[in-house]
Amino acid sequence: MRAVLQRVTEASCVVEGKITGQIESGFLVLLGIEDADSNEDVDWLAQKVVNMRVFADENDLMNKALADIGGSILLISQFTLFASTKKGNRPGFTKAAKPDVAIPLYEQMIDKLSSLLGKKVETGIFGADMKISLVNDGPTTIFIDTKNKE
């Protein structure tokens, strides 16, 4: 499981002209799921996301987590995080999980993040053509791969 966390002052997702998710301060999380992912990956990654201390404290140092600032999450499924670019110029996506594997894990991630954060997680629509808008704060962007925990 891979995630790109972007610290934002605002972010939104639009599908077919309708807003499906919108937040102010917090994280836009792009989530890629592969066949090898499991419930343990969801639990580990959700803890990392919610507890990631990249928000400014009173001394303008990165010491605060989402809960400390009352932040929100906009979670977007993004299979392209598993693009293979080794051969040629057209990426391959064979490592990305098919919907029958990915959707349950994506939904589990929504539930886990909501539970840990204590509020609803905003989302896109799995598999849809989404238009994502954001104001990246910093910019601060963090890449996390559950297969590289050490």
Catalytic residue positions?
A: 80
Residue carrying structure tokens 């601060």: 140
Separation of alpha carbons 55 and 68, rounded Å: 9
Separation of alpha carbons 1 and 42, rounded Å: 8
Which residue spans within the chain are E strands per DSSP?
2-15, 18-23, 26-32, 55-56, 62-64, 72-77, 122-123, 131-145
